[in-house]
Amino acid sequence: MTLVIRMLTVYPQTKTYFAHWKDLSHGSAQIRKHGKIVINGIGEAVAKIDDLQKGLLTLSELHAFQLRVDPTNYKILSHCILVVLAITFPADFTPEAHVAVDKFLAAVSRSLSEKYR
């Protein structure tokens, strides 16, 4: 999963959230594992698309009270997800598909920031 390494490389400021990891290089096992966790979280959001606020409550509390990720970074990660989709599905990732996914990821980001204050 190139998603997390892509984010860490293109937007180095995001590395500040991973200072506690030993290995931030390409191919790092920690990074690959984390990519899976993030993507699974998004998969969970897809399943709960009709009530993201309720469905992502636990994740929102995690991000708000423990991780305390600045919400700007959700935009950054969302952009990286879109780039990976464009690379993986060049013909299918039409502008119409793009706007739908972007809208969805924005909603997920909003739900994740829900409990911040």
Q: Which residues bind another protein (CB under 8 A)?
A: 2, 5-6, 8-11, 26, 79, 82-83, 86-87, 90, 93, 95-96, 98-99, 102
Q: Which is nearer to another protein, 35 or 55 (CB)?
A: 35
The nearest distance, CB 107 to another protein, in angstroms, is 15
Q: Tell me if 2 sits within 8 A of 84, measured CB to CB.
A: yes
Q: Which is nearer to another protein, 69 or 76 (CB)?
A: 76
How many residues does this entry show for the chain? 117
The SS3 assignment for 14 reads helix
